[in-house]
Amino acid sequence: MQAVSIIAPAAFAPDQAGQVRHGGDLTSVQQRFPAAPRPWIDLSTGINPRPYPIGRVTAEAWTRLPSRDAEHALVEAAAIRYGCRVEQIAIAPGTQALIQLLPRLAQPARVAVLGPTYAEHALCWEREGHHVSTVATLADAGGADVVVIVNPDNPTGRLLDPATLHGLDAKLLVIDEAFIDLLPPQASLAANVPGNAVILRSFGKTYGLAGLRLGFAVASATLVTRLRAALGPWAVSGPALEIADQALRDDAWLAAARDHLARDSARLEALLASAGFAIVGRTPLFVLGRHPEAPHLVDRLARHGIHVRAFEHRPDWIRFGLPGDDGAFSRLAATLQVPQKVR
C-alpha cells in the first residue's frame, strides 16, 4: 500500500511503538510526580465524573454466560435511546473494539479522517493496510472510499450538522458520536442513519462507567449482521448488559446529568478564561483551552496532583475534563491562581 499521507496532524499521535498516548494514564504521571499531593484529580479524560449509580446486579450475571434475552433487552434499550430499530444495533465491549474491527471488514480503501481528532481511527485503518489521510476539511476528503468523522470532535468540540453528513459521498461513512449523548437528540444521525454509514455510540463516557467497556454501532441491518458475526458470541459481559439496560432506560437520570454537566462545563470554561486561556472548543464533558504557557501549566498542575491532557502537535493546547465537585474546582482554581468567588 501507499505510504500514509498526513495533511493535518492527529490529535493523539502514536509513539514509536505505534501505541497512542491517551488520557487516563494516571499511573505513569504519578510515577513522574511522586511528591504530588493526593488524592490526584484526573481531568485527562472526557468522562462524566458523577457516574450512574449501579444498583443490584444479579448473581447470574456474574456466574452464567450472558443470555440472548439479556443481550436483546440491552439492544432494545439502546434502540429506544438512540431512536433506531433493534436490527440496526450491534453491541460491543467498548467503542474502541468497533474502531479496530471496522477496518478488518473492509476491502483495501482510501480513508480520509477529518482531523485533528482521536488518533485511534487513523491508526487502526492504517494497521489493516488501508491508505489513510488525515484531512483538515471535508472538501479535502473528496474521492475517499471511507470518511471518518468524530462528531462532536475530540478534542476540539467541532460539531457538524446531520444535513452536511448526509450529503457526503463515500462508500462507507464512519461517524463516531462518543460525546453526543448530552447534546439535543437531533444532533445525532442514529435516528436516521444513511445506508452507507455506521454510527458509533459510547456508553462509558456519558454514564461515567468507562470501566464497563460497552459501545454500540448503529448501521444498516446488513452491516450490523456482519459486525455481530465478527464480534462473536458473548461479546459483552453479563454485568454490563444488566447495568447498561437499566441506565439507558433511565430518562430522569440522563436529563439531570445533562443539566448539571452543562452547568459544570460552563463553570470550567469561565475558570479557564479567568486563568488566561482562549477557549478553543468544548463539549459537555471537556473544555479545550489554548495558553502560551501551556507546557509550564501542565507541569504545575501535575506537581499539585492534577492530571490534564496535553498535545505534542499543539503544545499550547490543554484539554480539561470536568472536576467532580466543588473541592476539585477549588483545587484547580488555586493551582491556576484564579481567585474564587464564594458560591
Structural domain of residue 263, as residue ranges? 11-49+253-335
Asked if 153 and 281 touch (Cβ cutoff 8 Å), the reply is yes
Residue 80's domain is classified under what CATH number?
Answer: 3.40.640.10
Task: Point out the domain boundary residue: 208, 224, 249.
Answer: 249
Q: CA-to-CA distance for 274 and 255, rounded, in angstroms?
A: 29
Considering the domain architecture, whether residues 113 and 74 belong to the same structural domain is answered as: yes
Task: Point out the domain boundary residue: 249, 283, 317.
Answer: 249
Angle between helices 294-303 and 326-335 (to 10 degrees): 130
- What separation in angstroms does the CA of 54 have from each of 11, 77, 106, 207, 250? 33, 17, 38, 10, 12
| pLDDT tens, N- to C-terminus, the chain (343 residues) | 233 333 334 454 455 445 666 666 788 899 999 999 999 999 999 999 999 999 899 999 999 999 999 999 999 999 999 999 999 999 999 999 999 999 999 999 999 999 999 999 999 999 999 999 999 999 999 999 999 999 999 999 999 999 999 989 999 999 999 999 999 999 999 999 999 999 999 999 999 999 999 999 999 999 999 999 999 999 999 999 999 999 999 999 999 999 999 999 999 999 999 999 999 999 999 999 999 999 999 999 999 999 999 998 899 999 999 999 999 999 999 999 986 654 4
Q: CA-to-CA distance for 174 and 44, rounded, in angstroms?
A: 25
SS (H, E, C) the chain: CCCCEECCCCCCCECCCCCECCCCCHHHHHHHCCCCCCCCEECCCCCCCCCCCCCCCCHHHHHCCCCHHHHHHHHHHHHHHHCCCHHHEEEECCHHHHHHHHHHHCCCCEEEEECCCCCHHHHHHHHCCCEEEEECCHHHHCCCCEEEEECCCCCCCCCCCHHHHHCCCCCEEEEECCCCCCCCHHHCCHHHCCCCEEEEEECHHHHCCHHHCCEEEEECHHHHHHHHHHHCCCCCCHHHHHHHHHHHCCHHHHHHHHHHHHHHHHHHHHHHHHCCCEEEEEECCEEEEECCCHHHHHHHHHHCCEECEECCCCCCEEEEECCCCHHHHHHHHHHCCCCCCCC
Considering the domain architecture, whether residues 236 and 301 belong to the same structural domain is answered as: no
Considering the domain architecture, whether residues 45 and 191 belong to the same structural domain is answered as: no
Considering the domain architecture, whether residues 286 and 188 belong to the same structural domain is answered as: no
Q: CA-to-CA distance for 203 and 246, rounded, in angstroms?
A: 12
Considering the domain architecture, whether residues 80 and 193 belong to the same structural domain is answered as: yes
In a domain, 135, yes or no: yes
In a domain, 342, yes or no: no
Q: Is 290 left (phi over 0), alpha (psi -120 to 50) or beta?
A: beta
Q: The whole model's pTM is what?
A: 0.92
